[in-house]
Amino acid sequence: MLIMKKIFALMALSLTVLSCKTEPKDYVTLSGTITNSHSEKTITFVKGKDFKKIITVNDDGTFRDTLKVEAGDYSFKHGDEYGTIYLKNGNESSLTTDYEDFDNKLTFEGDDSDINNFAIRSMMLSEEYITLDLVFGTSKDDLDNALNRYKEAYTELKNKYTAVDSTHIANADKRLPYIINSYVSYYKTIAAIREEFPKGSPSPIFENYENFKGGTTSLSDLKGKYVYVDVWATWCGPCKREIPSLKELEKKYEGRNIEFVSISVDNAKRSGTMEKAHTAWKKMVADKELSGIQLFSDKSYDSDFIASYKVKGIPRFLLIDPEGKIVSAHAPRPSMKTLIDLFDELKI
């Protein structure tokens, strides 16, 4: 009788354990914190055309939600910033970052965090070894040496993240030559532009561009001063990232023999109509309190000035001397030390 009681007790215990066993979750729990997100109130996750999930970001920058997904890499967007995260049902994943330094501060925790941290670190690794200062102001040998150091660092990174699956490693391996070729191609583009528009040759001109402050402005109006030209557009993320550095530059060189001119190439193709493009330009100049001389290109990329300088991508910076001659047809960006070096060389 005692044996039977023990058997029944074991059966009851087994049933209790089975009934309490947790079923696998058919969703991923996703959370995070984005500091300094300001007015951005959502973060959007997408995968191809079939999946899109918009999650509300609270006033303190936190968010949390559940998503039913197919295991894979998903893109996310918050304001003008983008990222990638691996998601799988049953996982609890989180991310933290600072909107003002999005990529550098992006960190993942939780399930499969090694995959996500390896992905962002491998993407950002190139910036530690190949800077725009290096691309703009170095010799080809110096660039090649930096690229070799970058490849060595990438190998060390792979050795650190040994738990990352072979598929993600293979994808990163494929990106490596693409990134290297991109820097080499950019270097060659800059060199070719500078060769085609040599220092001391007459600069193309712009005439009667609308000035945000009223009236129109031509390059000839600025004769007698150096002119640093920023070709940009309101939709251009890299252009907008240069704004704080450009403002600092304008303040630093206030009262000196240089004018800072920003020329918008906003157009109907991006905005829908030229009227909307023009409105977007005026709104951003006002909202961002942009300084310097703010001009609107008469025909966007097709204007004589922009086309003559063969501007195919933005931001693009130009430096013209007081006599209207070219100093650099592909000048360093405001955020780059080589620009200050150039200004010092010219005694501006």
pLDDT < 50 regions, the chain: 2-11, 13-15, 17-19
Per-residue pLDDT tens over the stretch 98-126: 998 999 999 999 999 999 999 999 999 99
Cα gap 221→120, rounded to integer Å: 47
The model's pLDDT over 71-100, given as tens digits with 9 standing for 90+, comes to: 999 999 999 899 999 999 999 999 999 998
Q: How far is Cα 344 from Cα 157, in angstroms, rounded to an integer?
A: 39
Token pair belonging to 329: 């047809």
Domains of the chain listed by start with CATH number:
16-101 (2.60.40.1120), 112-196 (no CATH), 209-345 (3.40.30.10)
Say what the pTM is. Answer: 0.69
pLDDT of residue 272: 87
* pLDDT on residue 22: 58
The pLDDT value recorded for residue 139 is 80
Identify the CA nearest to 67 among candidates 86, 82, 49. Answer: 86
pLDDT at 4: 46
CA dist 230 → 60, 294, 333 (Å):
35, 10, 9
Strand duo 72-78 + 62-67: pairing: unpaired
For position 8, what pLDDT does the model report?
A: 46
